[in-house]
Chain A
Amino acid sequence: MILNAILTLYIGALDAVLGVLPSLPATPTAITNGGNWLIDLIAGVSSMLRAIYSPALLTGIIVILIAILAFDYIYFALLWALKKIPMINIK
């Protein structure tokens, strides 16, 4: 009941705030069609890869692939974080 009341108040307040503003136009149909086509493509490729590799192996492949391709950025971010720790004394 308490959470319901909070959510009702929140949605009501949001409705009141947004009610002042004009409604923005919807996304053009051409863009949504293109997005749907892309989503269908991704779903098809994803399901095909899952069928070939199995979901667990596919997850591992994707993780390793991202780790290799984005190695420089990950390394830079990790080093930047380690440099913030004074006891390690990494320069």
Chain B
Amino acid sequence: MIIPEIIRPTRSPLNKPKPKLNQPLNRSAVLLSAILIFTAFVVAPFINPPKTQAWTDKVMPKCTSLSFGTFNWKDKIQEKLDQYEANNPNNVAPESWNLESAQAFILYQAPNDTDVRLDAVFSNLKLAEFYKDPADSKYKYQLGIEPSAYQNPSWSHYQWEINITSKTVTSVGLTPSFATRSATTPYPTHDIMCVYSARGFDYAPTYDGTIFDTDVPSQGGEPECALLDIPCKIQKLTQGIADTFTAVNNALMRFLAWLFVPESSEMQEHASNLTDLLNEKLGFLLYPLTFTVDIWQALNDDTNAWCTESSCSKNTGSFMGSNFNLDFFKLNDVIPSLFVFMQNAIRVITILGLIHLARMKFKEVTQK
């Protein structure tokens, strides 16, 4: 009988040799670490977590940042403006409302509404300056704008807040005219896009500018979950995770846009630098190119086109370096029908001439 030999493991997990410090590191691990560190240091500054507002006497109010990606302000504000004008036919919005400039906003309280609803949109414009009043140690704000319509003649910044709170103001239209009012300091530029409110509105991170379906949240933000309110805590946790993913996604998008899409001003600066350099160094060698570009621009420039409309007063033309009144186009003002007839006659004659030219060419080719 053969007794099998006991096989002893030559290497047990216990006596596994420890890695030496001078061994080369795993390439994949190094690469992954590098990516993580790069992401953390480069993308993290772009993360802009959603902010909530809180307005109490002792807490500095903050603004809710809204980006163009989540706030289609033109459609939203235009819709509200139409609604406002429909409800207030005698109190139209300020004329300076300009959707294109993106520097105006409207703020109103819907008629017969129990809640104050605020919607403000502004960009590249610092509208409010918050400060602490030493008289009563309350935080107040100044608006660097001129109210175009307000109910209380003794309007002041703090009064405005009281009015809104007490629901005495039904509508306030504000235009960024930067008139100096009672220690109001205009701040013409500030690269921020915010919604300010005098009360403590808490905007959800996914707020897109629509009116709240429910009541305006109470001052100071949403109530905290009770100690044993597990569903509430789970909901807050889920919401927090979702907000984090949204914030990271937005940050990544902003980072990629910053990385790959240059701004037009930067491209113009590069083009200007290149043109200056070539003009300085190449001198007359660059002139043929400049001349060609100028001719192309002259052929496609409509600004110096002669006017043939009767509403225009520009019936003088420039030809061979001299300005004169072109009677042919003046005819459009005097006898428009004759002008149109002559214009069409010239067009028909030209087209017939082209047809004749094509026919001659056809004969020439076929008779070769």
Known: A11-B273, A18-B277, A68-B361. A44 touches B305 (CB 8 A): no
Interface members, chain B 256-313 (any A CB < 8 Å): 258-260, 262, 266-267, 270, 273-274, 277, 280-285, 287, 291, 294-295, 298-299, 301-302, 304-308
A57 in contact (CB, < 8 A): yes
Are B283 and A23 closer than 8 Å at their CB atoms? Answer: yes
What residues of B have a CB within 8 angstroms of the CB of A46 in the complex? 298-299
| Contact across chains for B287 and A43 when beta carbons are under 8 A apart | no
B105 located at the interface, meaning its Cβ lies under 8 Å from any Cβ of chain A in the complex: no
> Which residues of A have CB within 8 Å of B294?
35, 39
Q: Which range contains the number of A residues in contact with the other chain?
A: 35 or more
Q: State the Cβ distance, B46 to closest chain A Cβ, in Å.
A: 12
B37 at the interface (CB under 8 A from A): no
Complex contact A48–B306 (CB within 8 A) = yes
Q: Does A64 sit at the interface, judged by CB under 8 A?
A: yes
Of B262, B321, B346, chain A has the most CB atoms within 10 Å of the CB of: B262
CB of A90 to closest CB in B, whole Å: 17
Instruction: For B307, list chain A residues within 8 Å (CB).
Output: 51
Which residues of chain A come closer than 8 Å to B267, judged between CB atoms?
7
Q: CA A68 – CA B283 in complex, angstroms? A: 39
Q: B320's contact among A14, A21, A26, A41, by CB below 8 Å, is which?
A: A41
User: How many angstroms between the C-alpha atoms of A42 and B287 in the bound complex?
Assistant: 18
Given A11-B273, A24-B282, verify A47-B266 contact (CB < 8 Å).
Answer: no
Query: Which residues in window 26-53 of A have CB below 8 A to B?
Result: 26-28, 31-32, 35, 37, 39-48, 50-53
**Minimum distance in angstroms from A81 CB to a CB of chain B:** 18
How many B residues, CB 8 Å from partner?
Answer: 45
Contact of B361 among A23, A25, A45, A71 (CB under 8 A): A71
B284/A40 in contact, CB under 8 A: no
Taking CB atoms, residues of chain B closer than 8 Å to A21 are: 281
- Chain A residues whose C-beta falls within 8 Å of the C-beta of B287 in the assembled complex: 27, 31-32, 35
A40 to B301: give the CA distance in the assembly, Å. Answer: 11
Residues of A within 8 A of B343 (CB): 52
From known contacts A2-B260, A51-B308, A68-B358, infer whether A43 and B283 are also in contact, taking CB-CB under 8 Å. no
**Complex interface: chain A residues within 8 A of B304 (CB):** 43-44, 47
Tell me whether B319 is interfacial, beta carbon within 8 Å. yes
Docked pose: A18 CA to B281 CA in angstroms: 7
Nearest CB of chain B from residue A27's CB, rounded to whole Å? 4
Chain B residues lying within 8 Å of A47, measured Cβ to Cβ, are 301-302, 304-306, 317
B277 cross-chain contacts in A, Cβ below 8 A: 11, 14-15, 18
B359 to chain A, nearest CB (A): 10
Do B306 and A51 touch across chains, with their CB atoms under 8 A apart? Answer: yes
Task: Select B285's contact among A11, A24, A31, A44, beta carbons within 8 Å.
Answer: A24
* Contact in complex: B317, A44 (CB < 8 Å): yes
Does B179 have its Cβ within 8 Å of any Cβ on chain A? Answer: no
Min CB–CB distance B341 → chain A (angstroms) = 13
List the A side residues contacting B201 at CB < 8 Å. Answer: none
Chain B residues within 8 Å of A35, by CB: 287, 291, 294
**Is the beta-carbon distance between A27 and B295 smaller than 8 angstroms?**
no
Question: Within 8 Å CB of B258, what residues of A?
Answer: 1
* Complex contacts, B298 vs chain A, CB 8 Å: 39-40, 42-43, 46
B306 lies within 8 A of A42 (CB): no
B347 sits at the interface (CB 8 A): yes
Interface residues of chain B, those whose CB is within 8 Å of chain A, are 258-260, 262, 266-267, 270, 273-274, 277, 280-285, 287, 291, 294-295, 298-299, 301-302, 304-308, 317-321, 329, 343, 346-347, 350-351, 354, 357-358, 361, 365
The 9 closest A-B pairs by CB, nearest first: A24-B283, A43-B298, A27-B284, A18-B281, A27-B287, A51-B306, A47-B305, A7-B270, A3-B262
Q: Can you sample 10 A-B contacts with CB below 8 Å? A: A7-B267, A8-B270, A11-B273, A18-B277, A39-B294, A43-B304, A48-B306, A48-B319, A52-B346, A53-B346
